[in-house]
Protein backbone atom coordinates (compact mmCIF):
# COMPACT_ATOMS: atom_id res chain seq x y z
CA UNK A 1 0.00 0.00 0.00
CA UNK A 2 1.29 3.42 -0.88
CA UNK A 3 1.49 6.28 1.59
CA UNK A 4 0.95 9.97 1.05
CA UNK A 5 3.77 12.42 1.71
CA UNK A 6 3.61 16.18 1.39
CA UNK A 7 6.79 17.99 0.41
CA UNK A 8 7.73 21.53 -0.51
CA UNK A 9 9.33 21.98 -3.93
CA UNK A 10 10.76 25.00 -5.64
CA UNK A 11 8.84 26.51 -8.55
CA UNK A 12 11.62 25.27 -10.84
CA UNK A 13 11.15 21.68 -9.63
CA UNK A 14 7.38 21.91 -10.08
CA UNK A 15 7.90 23.23 -13.61
CA UNK A 16 10.30 20.38 -14.39
CA UNK A 17 7.85 17.78 -13.05
CA UNK A 18 5.06 19.28 -15.15
CA UNK A 19 7.28 19.25 -18.25
CA UNK A 20 8.29 15.62 -17.69
CA UNK A 21 4.68 14.57 -17.09
CA UNK A 22 3.54 16.32 -20.27
CA UNK A 23 6.40 15.02 -22.41
CA UNK A 24 6.03 11.44 -21.14
CA UNK A 25 2.20 11.60 -21.16
CA UNK A 26 1.94 10.56 -17.52
CA UNK A 27 0.40 12.18 -14.49
CA UNK A 28 2.50 14.29 -12.14
CA UNK A 29 2.41 11.69 -9.34
CA UNK A 30 3.83 9.05 -11.66
CA UNK A 31 6.52 11.48 -12.83
CA UNK A 32 7.54 12.17 -9.22
CA UNK A 33 7.60 8.44 -8.36
CA UNK A 34 9.79 7.73 -11.40
CA UNK A 35 12.15 10.54 -10.42
CA UNK A 36 12.38 9.17 -6.88
CA UNK A 37 13.21 5.71 -8.25
CA UNK A 38 15.91 7.18 -10.49
CA UNK A 39 17.18 9.23 -7.57
CA UNK A 40 17.60 6.10 -5.43
CA UNK A 41 19.73 4.52 -8.13
CA UNK A 42 21.80 7.69 -8.60
CA UNK A 43 22.27 8.01 -4.83
CA UNK A 44 23.44 4.39 -4.59
CA UNK A 45 25.86 4.84 -7.50
CA UNK A 46 27.29 8.04 -6.02
CA UNK A 47 27.83 6.59 -2.57
CA UNK A 48 29.42 3.44 -4.01
CA UNK A 49 31.77 5.47 -6.22
CA UNK A 50 32.78 7.50 -3.15
CA UNK A 51 33.59 4.25 -1.35
CA UNK A 52 31.03 5.02 1.35
CA UNK A 53 28.87 1.92 0.82
CA UNK A 54 29.36 -1.64 -0.35
CA UNK A 55 27.97 -2.99 -3.59
CA UNK A 56 25.43 -4.96 -1.55
CA UNK A 57 24.26 -1.79 0.19
CA UNK A 58 24.10 -0.01 -3.19
CA UNK A 59 21.86 -2.78 -4.52
CA UNK A 60 19.68 -2.52 -1.41
CA UNK A 61 19.31 1.28 -1.70
CA UNK A 62 18.59 1.08 -5.44
CA UNK A 63 16.14 -1.76 -4.78
CA UNK A 64 17.86 -3.88 -7.43
CA UNK A 65 19.21 -7.42 -7.34
CA UNK A 66 22.97 -7.56 -6.82
CA UNK A 67 23.48 -8.90 -10.34
CA UNK A 68 21.59 -5.95 -11.84
CA UNK A 69 23.54 -3.33 -9.90
CA UNK A 70 26.77 -5.06 -10.96
CA UNK A 71 25.62 -4.98 -14.59
CA UNK A 72 24.65 -1.31 -14.24
CA UNK A 73 28.05 -0.45 -12.78
CA UNK A 74 29.76 -2.31 -15.62
CA UNK A 75 27.61 -0.50 -18.22
CA UNK A 76 28.55 2.83 -16.64
CA UNK A 77 32.24 1.93 -16.40
CA UNK A 78 32.25 2.04 -12.61
CA UNK A 79 35.15 0.05 -11.27
CA UNK A 80 34.73 -2.32 -8.36
CA UNK A 81 35.80 -1.15 -4.90
CA UNK A 82 36.76 -4.71 -3.98
CA UNK A 83 40.32 -5.29 -2.94
CA UNK A 84 42.21 -8.50 -3.64
CA UNK A 85 41.78 -9.37 0.04
CA UNK A 86 37.98 -8.97 -0.28
CA UNK A 87 37.97 -11.19 -3.36
CA UNK A 88 40.07 -13.90 -1.70
CA UNK A 89 37.92 -13.82 1.44
CA UNK A 90 34.78 -14.19 -0.69
CA UNK A 91 36.34 -17.05 -2.63
CA UNK A 92 37.21 -18.79 0.63
CA UNK A 93 33.61 -18.45 1.90
CA UNK A 94 32.27 -19.77 -1.41
CA UNK A 95 34.67 -22.70 -1.23
CA UNK A 96 33.46 -23.55 2.29
CA UNK A 97 29.81 -23.37 1.21
CA UNK A 98 30.42 -25.69 -1.74
CA UNK A 99 32.10 -28.39 0.39
**14-39 confidence digits (pLDDT tens):** 999 999 999 999 999 999 999 999 99
The pTM of the full predicted model, rounded to 2 decimals, is: 0.76
What confidence score (pLDDT) does residue 10 get?
Answer: 97
Residues 43 and 79: their CA atoms lie apart, in Å, by 16
| Residue 90 confidence (pLDDT) above 80 | no
| Domain contains 48 | yes
| Domain contains 67 | yes
- Measured CA distances, 1 to 4, 46, 59, 97 (Å): 10, 29, 22, 38
Q: For helices 28-49 and 11-24, what crossing angle results, to 10°?
A: 110
| Residue 94 confidence (pLDDT) above 90 | no
| Domain contains 6 | no
| Domain contains 44 | yes
Task: Give the chain's domain count.
Answer: 1
| Domain contains 24 | yes
Residues 36 and 23: their CA atoms lie apart, in Å, by 18
pLDDT band at residue 43 using 50, 70 and 90 as cut-offs:
very high
Q: b/e for 73-96, b at 16 or more Cβ within 10 A?
A: beeeebeebeeeeeeeeeeeeeee
76 lies in which domain range?
11-98
Residue 55 C-alpha from the chain's centroid: 10
| Domain contains 58 | yes
Amino acid sequence: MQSIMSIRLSPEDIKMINEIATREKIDKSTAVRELVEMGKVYFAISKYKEGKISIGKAAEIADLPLSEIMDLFADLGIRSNLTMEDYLAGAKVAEEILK
